Amino acid sequence: MTLSSYRRTAAAIAAAAFYEKYPGVELRGGRETAVGFSYDFKVSHPINNETLAIIEEEMRQIVREKREIRLMDMVPFSAKELLKAKGHLSRAKEIDTADAALVQVIQIGSFYDLVFGDALKNSEELTAFKLEKLTALDNGMVRLSGYAYPTKEALKEFLHRFKRYAEKRHERTGEHSQLWKIAPEGIIWLKKGLQTLDKLVHHFLPPEAELIAAAPSIHRHKLPQAWQRDIAEFQFFPVWDFEAGLYGVQAAQLSIFSQDAKSLLQFVEKSLNILGLEYKAEFCIEDILGREWQVVLLKKMSGNVIATIAIEKILAILLESASEHAIGAISF
């Protein structure tokens, strides 16, 4: 099973635990996040600091009960009627907006909910999870957030890295290293930061390339020999809510193994060119929390290969990954 399966299952078991402990809550749906999982509820009773511990213990009880987990593909009408019969009216209404021929329903004991994607087969398989917080939202909504991993060792390692992440976030390390200043209006790049960006830009440039700057209205295909640096607002990485992340398509995939990465890329490019296909390749790197970020995008369009490199994002991940003594001394 994938990490996504563990997180998706944890969100469903959290919903079951919350609903069984507080039957009056309204289910509003869960999701996998870039670092774990979350689930939204609408509540009519007070939520306090003890609620989190109560829900986590309820989840552990469901795990101990070794409940079978079933995934059922149902026609929308049948799924809607089932959820209405179980008292999940808000979840049933969501099906009205679904345009798929089938919707997926998860069953954990006597609990039913909508789900999208694979899940574990039995609740006892979820042995490594931890609830992180309950966040109050608008209109009586609360969001339950947490983490789930295949093993307790993996969860422990993540929690250790997450604890250190507050000190290693690129906002803080970049300001400490005098790369920028953080103002209410946004980032102010300092001389050292601009020099570092320039080094990073030229690290990726081929020797014969000419660096230019152009307005977005000037199409790239008119500048086939130049590398254009896009001017974009530097952004901080979010930790919660709909974080960016790479969740690959697993329906069909081909694995090719080679010790020479450059030769492998050349082989793939040549094969696609022979077939006359336009292609897109994404290169991603992980941050210290294990989240994957797209940093290079290769596209072939109208006979030209276009490379888009997220310079600022690469710098941010370098800052977060560097040890304390290496920050401020990044070289290329």
What mean pLDDT is predicted for residues 269-298? 82
Query: What are the pLDDT digits (tens) for 184-228?
Result: 877 888 999 889 888 887 787 766 666 655 555 554 444 444 444
Query: d(Cα 250, Cα 155) in Å, to the nearest integer?
Result: 24
Average pLDDT over residues 131-142: 92
Mean pLDDT comparison of 4-13, 272-281, 287-296, highest-scoring range = 4-13
Predicted confidence at residue 310, as pLDDT, reads 83
β-pairing verdict for 37-42 and 141-149: antiparallel
Given a contact cutoff of 8 angstroms between Cβ atoms, the answer to whether 76 and 182 are in contact is: no
The per-residue pLDDT for range 259-280, each reduced to its tens digit, is: 666 676 777 778 877 877 777 8
CA 130 to chain centre: 18
Residue with tokens 């990485």: 237
**Secondary structure (DSSP) of 160-202:** HHHHHHHHH-HHHHHHHTTSEEEETTEEEE-HHHHHHHHHHHH
Residue 181 has pLDDT above 80, yes or no: yes
Between 213 and 73, name the one with better pLDDT: 73
pLDDT of residue 207: 67
68 pLDDT tier (thresholds 50, 70, 90) = very high
Q: Which of 45-49, 116-120, 191-195, 303-307 has the lowest mean pLDDT?
A: 303-307
The predicted structure's pLDDT at residue 233: 41
pLDDT for the residue 246: 28
Handedness of CA 165, 34, 197, 200 (dihedral sign): positive
Task: Tell me which amino acid residue 69 is.
Answer: I
Q: Higher confidence at residue 213 or residue 327?
A: 213
Please give the model's pTM, rounded to 2 decimal places: 0.73
Any idea what the Cα angle at residue 279 is, between residues 270 and 318, rounded to 5°?
100
**Percentage of the chain with pLDDT > 90?**
43
User: What pLDDT shows up at residue 242?
Assistant: 36
pLDDT at 88 > cutoff 60: yes
**Predicted confidence band at 69 (pLDDT cuts at 50, 70, 90)?**
very high
| Residue 282 tokens, joined | 């994404």
- Average pLDDT (132-136) is 93
Residue of 139 and 308 predicted with greater confidence: 139
pLDDT at 210: 61
**The pLDDT of residue 133 is above 70:** yes
Separation between Cα atoms, residue 111 and residue 300, nearest integer Å: 48
The confidence score (pLDDT) of residue 178 equals 92
pLDDT computed for residue 184 by the predictor: 83
DSSP state for residue 306 in the 8-state scheme: E
What local confidence, expressed as pLDDT, does residue 229 receive?
44
Which residues, 6+ apart, have CB-to-CB distance to 100 below 8 Å? 76
Give CATH for domain 3-165: 3.30.980.10
Q: How far apart are CA 174 and CA 177, in angstroms?
A: 5
- Window from 11-15, 112-116, 240-244, 316-320 with minimum mean pLDDT: 240-244
Q: Which of 238, 239, 246 is nearest to 295 (CA)?
A: 246
User: Mean pLDDT across the chain, nearest whole number?
Assistant: 81
Split at pLDDT 50, 70, 90, the class of 295 is confident
Ranges 35-39, 125-129, 147-151, 181-185: which has the least confidence: 181-185
* Matching residue, tokens 């294990």: 290
Domain ranges of the chain: 3-165, 170-321
- Left, alpha or beta for 117 (phi > 0: left; psi -120 to 50: alpha)? left
Higher per-residue pLDDT: 91 or 261: 91
How many Cβ atoms sit within 10 Å of the Cβ of residue 280? 10
Q: What pLDDT score was predicted for residue 188? A: 86
Say what the pLDDT of residue 78 is: 96
Beta carbons within 8 Å of 150's beta carbon, 6+ residues apart: 1, 3, 6, 128
